Amino acid sequence: MNHSLPAPNIENPSIWPNSSTNPSPDDHHSRQLIWPNSSTNPPPDDHSRQLICWITAVLATNVFGTVANAILLLVLTAHRPLRQSASCALIVHCIIIDLYSTAVVVPVLTVPVYLGPAFPLPRDFCRFQPLIIYSSYAASMYASCVLALHRLLATLIPHRFHVLTGRRPLTAMIIFPWVVALAINIFPTVETGIRTVRSPLSGGCTFTAVEGWSNQQVFLLLSTLGYYLPTGLMGVSYTVILVKSCRDLRRRKRKSRALLRRIDISRTLCLSFFWHCFTIYPGIIALAFFAQEYAGSFTGQLWIKWLGSSFSAINPIFLCCSSSLFQQGIKAVLRKMFRCQRANGEGGFMGVPETLEGSSTLIRGDFGEDDVEMVAISKY
């Protein structure tokens, strides 16, 4: 449940459309693509139209994602079977980061690219972007990694798993991703080894090496810490979880609700992981193996940039479509909201007709018969 850490845009004219630089006439790829809002060379009309469509699609997708993540957050905090799950706090943490990404981070990163390199930005806009913006990406990656490891331990050592469900362990698991994220992004902020500058090619901010480092070293370091390490841990964790869950499902003639629920959550998080990889790695693969083709396709660049900006916005769809628990939670919360709205419209207090009949009636009225049975096993 995380948004991808953006690939560092190393200053390479063969990757970004030409804007404020003046490449040689022989540099086919840098001359072929003209950034629409460039201060030099008039852009092709189709590039301008494509860029407008791109910025519209990115912002519309993330407006939807902001609403979807807010609803998902409400469901996790209001729906009892989800709220009492041992991993609920970690899932909530991931969704809060996704909400911040869709509402703040993606617009901050996207709008300067649309405005182009000729548009003036505040002096230290790029310098502090790693600490304020990119830190949320790294925190999202490692928060999802911690969640995957948490679910792995729940699968492998269920009888001792309770030691990882207390307030202190969960608090530590929430703080840890931010410590790692700040540790990674403090270096470009203080310009040690790497720094973040305004790209004359795209108009956005880009990582570049300081003296004594090469751009290839910077790219490899950031990719390893930001992508490969947490993604590898998540992949191993979810593979083990799915294999063991499927094996348990075949061995047991009578499937317990706890096992079915574990498989439900594992399947949902695994699907989210696949979507996470699908949004991140096309850009990395294109830069690593198809740099010339990538630079020669303005439309391809925009599609890949849209993918990288859409993980947090579209991820709630995968969560809701693949998990019966989330589906039940959304229905329960919407039912309660409609009942409260109807009661308020009739002149009564919000929720009074349903909430003053006793705790058992409240649970059944708000969550349904099947959900009450799930409460007993939701700790796992």
Domains of the chain: 28-338+363-375 (1.20.1070.10)
pLDDT of residue 43: 53
**Average pLDDT of span 253-267:** 73
**Average pLDDT of span 191-218:** 79
pLDDT of residue 111: 87
More confident residue, 286 or 99: 99
Strands 194-198 and 205-209: antiparallel
**Average pLDDT of span 159-168:** 88
Residue 40 has pLDDT above 80, yes or no: no
How would residue 148 be classed by pLDDT, with cut points 50, 70 and 90? very high
Cα separation, 366 vs 340, in Å, equals 11
How would residue 25 be classed by pLDDT, with cut points 50, 70 and 90? very low
Cα separation, 272 vs 277, in Å, equals 9
Residue 46 has pLDDT above 90, yes or no: no
pLDDT of residue 24: 34
Pair of tokens at residue 101 = 């990404």
